Amino acid sequence: MSNWTTVTEFLLLGFSDTRQLQILHFVIFLAAYLAALVGNLLVITVVTMDHHLHSPMYYFLANLSILDLGSISVIVPKSMANSLLNTRTISYAAYVAQVFLFLLFCTADFSFLTILAYDRYVAICKPLHYEVVMKRRACIQMAAGAWAAGAINSALHTGNTFSLPFCHSNIINQFFCEIPQLLKLSCSNTYRRELAALVFSVFLALGCFAFVIVSYVQIFTTVWSIPSEQGRQKAFSTCIPHLIVVSLFLSTAIIAYTKPVSDSPSPLDLLAAVLYSVVPPLMNPVIYSMRNREIQAAQRK
């Protein structure tokens, strides 16, 4: 294939060529997808239906559940269909769409986690100003900014990547569409093309990470100064699930993107990809509800 105009489809990596293992992969991914679907839809439903949850924190949690639904729906159904139909192909247009949407949802997800850290900072450190700072208009603007950041980052990476010529192969050593795997197939220098997108991503990621760290340093300093044990527990009950979600998101993403891109697929590469693409959307609704009594009460209703 001399350049990108000749590429009409890509071949994704399958988990196995054995039919029984393909069916097993389908069943496991189906169970994970349905669990993520039910869990995230339940969070969205209780936040929408219960007027006690019509507050900024739950508004942002509902957005996170929408993003989790989107990110897992972009990847898992196609992988399940390939295993069930014993095929590996994905069209060029579908590949572009999968890359764009997955990056959009993941970037917006991290942005919303940063906004939630700010929400908890204002609620705990400046409770008397909470209603003024986190008013409806401000929440909508922050949510729009998170979605816009995801769209810009995704458009930069997708546009730069798919403007490259591909001449080495059309085989992707991953079960879904990943930009690092695609860059290996390019026959031109990818460094300069990706520089602007990488700079934007690095600044966005480091900015969000620094903001989360600073927010929680302030939060924990304030919480430890609360005289009553019950007050401290109440403050921690809203912070710890968010910290667990942030840790899960960052740890799985770091594992996936700091490892070198190998020429031959390995079980470790597939495991890392599953950890950061399937596990967070599956676990996040459970973590949100784990220590949150208001969500638990709304779910029981």
- Give me the pLDDT at residue 4, please: 44
* Most confident among 2-6, 233-237, 272-276 (mean pLDDT): 272-276
Who has greater pLDDT, 114 or 168? 114
Query: Please, which pLDDT band fits residue 298 given cuts at 50, 70 and 90?
Result: confident
Q: Is residue 2 part of a domain?
A: no
What percent of the chain has a predicted confidence (pLDDT) above 70?
88
Q: Is residue 19 part of a domain?
A: yes
Q: Is residue 262 part of a domain?
A: yes
239-248 pLDDT, tens per residue? 777 788 888 7
74-102 pLDDT, tens per residue? 999 988 888 888 888 888 888 889 989 99
Handedness of CA 280, 282, 285, 289 (dihedral sign): negative
Mean pLDDT of all residues belonging to the chain: 82
Query: Please, which pLDDT band fits residue 1 given cuts at 50, 70 and 90?
Result: very low
Q: Is residue 295 part of a domain?
A: yes
Q: Is residue 104 part of a domain?
A: yes
The pLDDT of residue 261 is above 90: no
Number of domains observed in the structure of the chain: 1
Residue range 160-168: mean pLDDT, rounded: 75
Who has greater pLDDT, 90 or 105? 105
The Cα-based distances of 223 to 124, 134, 214, 228, 241 in angstroms read: 8, 20, 14, 10, 16
Residue 268 domain boundaries: 8-300
The pLDDT of residue 289 is above 90: no
The CATH number that applies at residue 114 is 1.20.1070.10
CA distance 122 to 116: 10
Q: Is residue 1 part of a domain?
A: no
pTM for this prediction: 0.86
Who has greater pLDDT, 253 or 11? 11
Q: Is residue 3 part of a domain?
A: no
169-223 pLDDT, tens per residue? 777 777 787 777 777 777 766 556 666 677 778 888 888 889 999 988 888 888 8
The pLDDT of residue 148 is above 90: yes
Query: Please, which pLDDT band fits residue 6 given cuts at 50, 70 and 90?
Result: low
Q: Is residue 57 part of a domain?
A: yes
